[in-house]
Amino acid sequence: MSLNPQLCRIHQRSYCHLVGNATAGLYLAIKALGLRGKQVAIPNSVCPNVPLAVLLSGNTPLYLDISEKNLGIDVNELKSNTDSIDAVIAVHAYGSVCDISAISDFCRSRGIPLIEDIAVAQGAQSNGRPVGGFSDIAVVSFGAGKIIDVGHGGAVLTDDPLILKEVIAHEATFSDCHASDKNAIGAFGQYHTKLYNEHYGPNINAFSSSFKKRALELRKHILYKFDYAYEQIIEEQLEHLDSIIDSRRCKAETLERLLTQTSNIRLFHPPAGSVHWRFNLFIDNRDNLLKLLLAKKFKISSWFPSADFFFEDRALSGINTVVSDGVGDRILNLWVNEEVNLDYIRAISSEIIAYTAHASYQNVKLNVTK
């Protein structure tokens, strides 16, 4: 089975087109829908590449708050901002299935185009249907840290042949992927992490203008075509998608069992049908624990801070996303992929349990990794 039909079967879509990366895929999805100078609603607790794709396409992100239940865009936020919304990107963030049925119903009833971002949720389902099948167009990723991780590529999925035609037409202006592109993207990722490390919280907002300028300068490095040298390895990995998801679930269930009775933390329970990108928990005064675990070389992160902090001056924008901001302040993401085993799971659980049982720990230098 070649890759395009394989992806169509998995996601129950009619058409598939391979793209260089998910950011380029979102850009192409927006362009294919004919959007220009419009407001595209996105959840604020999201990877910075989502608002970047909107900006690169010549549109404006409308940062909306998220639901505490699923960490996806809050449907009530959509309803409250109906008159300002020209399109919606529904992100199944953290592998957690957002309220996609309600979002789809909202968009359909108002004639608003809907894009699904399933970059970290491949294999997830909502009401028995694969995510990526509720929208006009969906985008999946095979980049670093994703459910299927080959370090390159993504795909755009749709049932509309005209949308597919537009995707291909816009992609014709892209160049091939070169090492210089990956180097530039990597350098920008390091800049983003350094900014987070040194200025986490509202202080990041002081750098929004320079961050946005530098992000937009990545245009020529992000908008590249799929390298078909990766096609076979993606096909092979997709054959094991179910077992990959099962392995992650097993590790997540072990973490939940070990940490359920731990005081001072709250475990996030994703909706039925979700997949585990990472295992998420929430803790007050998170950064001391984060520093401790990083110093001991555990694989852990604290994504995502509200994305608008990096792109917009809140003193001017007036953005107010209380839930998203709270998630950014308290979330910890624990690895459950193939990089870790059950011995690792037990070890990191022991550290977290010990942390919550004692008043303080040595304050070590923060060094966040994605």
Whether residue 283 is found in the same domain as residue 145: no
pLDDT tens per residue, range 266-298: 999 999 999 999 999 999 889 889 989 999 999
pLDDT computed for residue 263 by the predictor: 79
Q: Which of 198, 233, 268 is the last residue of a domain?
A: 233
Whether residue 242 is found in the same domain as residue 337: yes
Q: Which of 233, 255, 280 is the last residue of a domain?
A: 233
Tally Cβ neighbours within 10 Å of residue 178: 12
Whether residue 228 is found in the same domain as residue 298: no
pLDDT tens per residue, range 60-113: 999 999 999 999 999 999 999 999 999 999 999 999 999 999 999 999 999 999
Confidence of residue 200 (pLDDT cuts 50, 70, 90): confident
Whether residue 228 is found in the same domain as residue 273: no
What whole-number distance in Å separates Cα of residue 57 and Cα of residue 71?
Answer: 25
Confidence of residue 198 (pLDDT cuts 50, 70, 90): confident
User: Is residue 201 in a domain?
Assistant: no
What whole-number distance in Å separates Cα of residue 370 and Cα of residue 352?
Answer: 20
User: Is residue 12 in a domain?
Assistant: yes
User: Is residue 30 in a domain?
Assistant: yes
What whole-number distance in Å separates Cα of residue 38 and Cα of residue 272?
Answer: 34
User: Is residue 169 in a domain?
Assistant: yes
Domain that holds residue 107: 3-177+223-233
Whether residue 228 is found in the same domain as residue 310: no
Could you tell me which residues come within 8 angstroms of residue 172 by beta carbon, excluding any fewer than 6 positions away?
none
Whether residue 283 is found in the same domain as residue 229: no
Concatenate the DSSP letters of all residues of 143-154 into one string: STTSSS--SS-E
Whether residue 288 is found in the same domain as residue 323: yes
User: Is residue 108 in a domain?
Assistant: yes
CATH number for the domain including 243? 3.90.1150.10
In the chain, the number of structural domains is 2
Strand order in the sheet with 300-301: 265-267, 279-283, 331-334, 300-301
User: Is residue 78 in a domain?
Assistant: yes
User: Is residue 213 in a domain?
Assistant: no
CA distances (Å), origin 304, targets 71, 153, 202, 246, 247:
11, 22, 14, 25, 24
CATH number for the domain including 89? 3.40.640.10
Whether residue 325 is found in the same domain as residue 253: yes
Whether residue 33 is found in the same domain as residue 134: yes
Whether residue 167 is found in the same domain as residue 255: no
What's the average model confidence in pLDDT over 205-212?
A: 94
